[in-house]
A and B are shown apart, each in its own frame.
Chain A
Amino acid sequence: MNRTVLIVGLIIVAAIVAILFMGLGNDPAHIDSPLIGSPAPGFALKAVGSDETIDLTRYRGKPVVLNFWATWCRPCWDEHPVLTANAQMAGDRVQYLGVVFQDEESKIRSFLEQRGWAYPTLVDQAGKTAIAYGVGGVPETYFLDKNGIIVAKFAGPMSAEDIEKNLRKAMQ
């Protein structure tokens, strides 16, 4: 009996250790998006600093970098110049879009006036767009291919290399 108890105990402990070990390399902030491989939820939102409404379908036919951010998010401040520079370099080949999450339009306008912008920034309505995309925090970026399919998600501030790596998937 003692041997049986020992063997069963060892099996249980080994299983728990294996599960914990597998999780060691995981980033606790990273949650896989179940939307990868699915069509991006559609929206038409007001652009900051203009009366224009921008519909996502307008950009069908080219890859889209959809960045959720907010002015109260400090890492978004660091990411902003990287995104702006990459959007300028990409020109018409890739469409960058910012969706501002839980923020005020006056603050967004003032932020963009101070730091510059290279692509449209849209205002989310009661966080509904962010919820439909499964946004858990900002900044968070979704990469859409030319058919409007979500091919990648990046949580956290991106470097130019991160953008390039994910954009490659969107351009395939």
Chain B
Amino acid sequence: MIAFLLVLALQLKVPDAEQFVGKPQGTPLTGEQLHLRTQQVGALLRCPVCQGLSVSDSPAEMAVNMRGQVRELLSRGYTQEQILSYFERSYGQFVLLKPKFNGVAAVVWILPILAVAIGVVIVVSKAKKLEQRPTANGQQPTANDPYLARVRDMVQKP
């Protein structure tokens, strides 16, 4: 029976990462380091059957399988970039929780920076306008202004 199962296992073939991203370019990991890196790389991948959960955080069987595959690839020496490329090849950029800076995804990066920059320009120009705002009689106050001199006197009086 064992011999039969062994023969069967040898005949089975599942798609392998080497077909798509080449040979491993890193160091094979084991033990605690393997566990830690599996969590870290899994946290960068989106669970395709969940609502916004990473592969590391989801208890779904799909995520468990993906985590198992990440673990296996890390133990064979595949790098984070190779593993992310492997999943991206099957699922597209959707599977990456941190979108890449290209195409439409670049908008996700540019828009917040652009919004902050526009906000800063508006605040600065408003502040400048407030500084230059003329007084009630339409004149800018000067250092020798009699009104300012009276105020200064009142403030400095003990």
Q: What is the interface of chain A, defined by CB distance below 8 A to chain B? A: 1, 5, 8, 12, 31-35, 41-46, 51, 53, 55, 102, 124-137
With an 8 A cutoff between CB atoms, is B147 at the interface? no
A134 to B45, CA, bound (A): 13
Given contacts A8-B118, A127-B65, A137-B48, A35 and B90 within 8 Å (CB-CB): yes
Contact: B91 with A34, CB < 8 Å? yes
Chain B contacts with A in 72-95, Cβ cutoff 8 A: 87-92, 94
Residues of B within 8 A of A127 (CB): 61-62, 65-66, 69
Q: From residue B13, how far is it (CB to closest CB) to chain A in Å?
A: 4
Cβ–Cβ < 8 Å partners of B122 in chain A: 5
User: Which of B4, B15, B68, B88 is close to A42, meaning CB atoms less than 8 Å apart?
Assistant: B15
Tell yes or no: B143 within 8 A of A by CB.
no
Please tell me if the beta carbons of B92 and A34 are within 8 angstroms of each other in the complex.
yes
User: What are the residues of chain B within 8 A of A33 when measuring CB–CB?
Assistant: 92
A contact patch SS: loop
B6 within 8 A of A: no
Residues of A within 8 A of B20 (CB): 41, 132
Q: What's the Cα separation between A150 and B125 when bound, in Å?
A: 56
B92's partner among A8, A31, A46, A132 (CB-CB below 8 A) is A31
How far is A51 from B19 in the complex, measured between Cα atoms in Å? 27
CB distance from A101 to the nearest CB of B (A): 9
Of residues B11, B14, B66, B69, which shows the largest number of chain A Cβ atoms within 10 Å of its Cβ?
Answer: B14
28 A-B residue pairings within 8 Å (CB atoms): A1-B129, A12-B115, A31-B94, A34-B88, A34-B89, A34-B90, A34-B91, A35-B90, A41-B19, A41-B90, A42-B19, A43-B15, A46-B8, A51-B8, A53-B11, A102-B61, A102-B65, A124-B14, A125-B14, A126-B14, A126-B68, A128-B14, A128-B65, A131-B65, A131-B66, A131-B90, A132-B14, A136-B91
Verify B11–A44 contact, CB threshold 8 A: yes
B88 surroundings in chain A (CB, below 8 A): 34
State which residues 98-134 of B face A: CB under 8 Å. Answer: 115, 118, 122, 125-126, 129
Contacts of B155 in A (CB 8 A): none
The answer, among B12, B68, B91, B126, for a CB contact under 8 Å with A31, is B91
Residue B49, interface by CB 8 Å = yes
Which residues of chain B are within 8 angstroms of A35 by Cβ–Cβ distance? 89-90
Residue pair B15, A136 in contact (C-beta under 8 Å): no
Bound Cα distance A102, B66 (Å): 12
**4 more A-B contacts (CB under 8 A) besides A46-B12, A128-B15, A131-B69?**
A126-B68, A128-B69, A131-B87, A132-B14
